[in-house]
Every structure is written in C-alpha cells, then in structure tokens.
Amino acid sequence: MKAIIDNAIPYIQGVLEPFFDVEYLPGKDIDRAKAADADVLLIRTRTHCNEALLAGSRVKLVATATIGCDHIDTAWCRKAGIKVVNAPGCNSSAVMEYFFTAIYKLAEMKHLDLLLKTIGVVGVGHVGSKIAAMGENLGFKILRNDPPRMAAEGPKGFVDLDTLLEESDIVTIHIPLENNLDFAGDHFFNSMKDGAIFVNASRGEVVVEEAFLRNRKRFAGVVMDVWRHEPDINPAMLAAADIATPHIAGYSMQGKINGTTAVVRATGEFFDIPELKEFSLPSAEKPFSLTRYDIMADDRALRSAPENFESLRSHYNYR
C-alpha cells in the first residue's frame, strides 16, 4: 500500500514505513497525479481534497491532522466511498493560550484596562469552550453564541449574536468555515461596541475584509492569525492588525503531537494495523522548558516578509 504524507506533519517520519510505501510532499504539491496510486493521504490544510484531486484514484482514507475539514469536500468523499477523519480539539488548548497571550499583550501595548471586561465567544466548540472557561477563571464576564449548540441544548447559557456584539468588550470568533463564509460582514462589525477588541483565529474567509476595514478605526485593538487567500494576504488587513501572525495560533508542540497521533491511529484503525492503532508519542523528547511566549516575535516575522507566510508556518518553532 502507498501513503502520501504532508511533509509538515511533525514526528511522523518513519512511523508508517513498516506498513506502507511512503512519499512525503509539501501539502500544496499533492496533486491528482501523485494521489492517483495512493491508498491513504495524511494531510493538513494546504491540500484541497475534492473530486478534482481524488476522482479515479485508489485513495480510501483521507486523514487531516487539523481540527477543521474546510479543505475537504466531505460530501463528495462520502459518495466516492472515501473515509475522512480529522483531529477535533487537537490544538484547542494552544489556541486558547494564544488568545489570552494576545489580548494581554495588546492591553500592555495600548494601555487598555481589561478588568471586569466582557469576552464574547462566537462559536463554543473545542476552542471556544476552553476560552470561555479560562476567561471565567480569570475574572472576565463571558457571553457565548453558538446557534447549533443552543438548538440542541436549549437557550440557557447562550445569547444571540446581536446581544453578544453589542455588549462585548472583546469579540473572538471560533467557527468553522463551512456554512460561515463571509459570516462577519457590515452588520457584524457595525454592531460591535466602539472601543472593542476583535480577534480572529478561526478562518480568514469568515471575515468580509471591506466591512472590517470600514469599521477598523472604531476598535481599540485587533488580533489576526488567519487571513483570506492565504498565503497571499491583503496588505491592508496586515496593516490594520495590531498583532498579526501567520496562522500559527494552534502551533504548540502538544497540539502537533495530538494531531499526528490522531491521523496515525486513524490509519491503523482503517487498515487494521495493531501497531498503528496503539501509536503514541511522548509529550516531548525532553521535559518542557517553561518560557513566556513572545507573540510579537511572530508579528515581526510576518510583517517583515509577508511573502514568506508559508515558510514561517512550515518552519515554525512549536511553542
């Protein structure tokens, strides 16, 4: 059997070789010709798995070492008999830590008082729920908006989007791209409070850039980790952000270990390979050294060479 693996998935070299003929490629270079004779693809967000890539191939499993599946046409794969597996929650703690690092750094930079402020969390899944819980532990008031969860669980603990936008001092988005393209447009940004902070660490395409830019001067601070048309990001959006990073909010060592573990085990389950089913990695090759995350180093690296967006991600020193 043959496996094609995104060469930016860490800690995986040598793991599948006893069972597969393995080829490692940059995610963007996994094309129709390469996929044609593969049985499994282990990917990240830069490989768009759809009919154009997979039709006529012998691929049976697509496993992505990411929380989301926005880059995979899951409906087409289902019809084609291709199983799709993701890694829900693998880097949720890392994104939560990134969020609080960012807002405290922003407060330091701009002399903002965060005491008794309200955080509005749009999308209360793996990431949003951790931000909400940590926020409450830190003394913030938390407003939660998540229509699918509210429909399933009832209205208690949730608010509608307009209420959240009107009452929140900090608004952070954590929603999938599916069904949410252009989610944050004119109404969204017009409804936010003057002097609010806006954070997006979900998907760049959920934000209508023109609507955001029209409202930018009203906001006290902006943190952007995700961008439309990555890696070709809009210079105006980069200039508008107080803290700008190259889609690395989830890039912690533990988050990457979790993602790699998930796709290897999924491969083992699908192909019934006991050694892969039980695959695990140590938390690190050596004990973690506790250090303060310098988020502005990531900001400087992106601003100094935005054309290196992909390289900054693929060569990132995991936190």
The reply to whether 216 belongs to the active site is no
**Which entry of 46, 71, 203, 265 is annotated as an active-site residue?**
203
Q: What is the 3-state secondary structure (H, E, C) of the chain?
A: CEEEEECCCCCCCCCCCCCCEEEEECHHHCCHHHHCCCCEEEECCCCCECHHHHCCCCCCEEEECCCCCCCECHHHHHHCCCEEECCCCCCHHHHHHHHHHHHHHHHHHHCCCCCCCEEEEECCCHHHHHHHHHHHHCCCEEEEECHHHHHHHCCCCCCCHHHHHHHCCEEEECCCCCCCCCCECHHHHHHCCCCCEEEECCCHHHECHHHHHHHHHHCCEEEECCCCCCCCCCHHHHHHCCEECCCCCCCCHHHHHHHHHHHHHHHHHHHCCHHHHCCCCCCCCCCCCCCCCCHHHHHHHHHHCHHHHHHHHHCCCCC
Active site residue 210: no
* Of 23, 166, 230, 310, catalytic: 230
Query: Is 126 annotated in the active site?
Result: no
Q: Which of the residues 71, 144, 247, 265 is marked catalytic?
A: 247
Q: What is the set of active-site residues?
A: 203, 230, 247
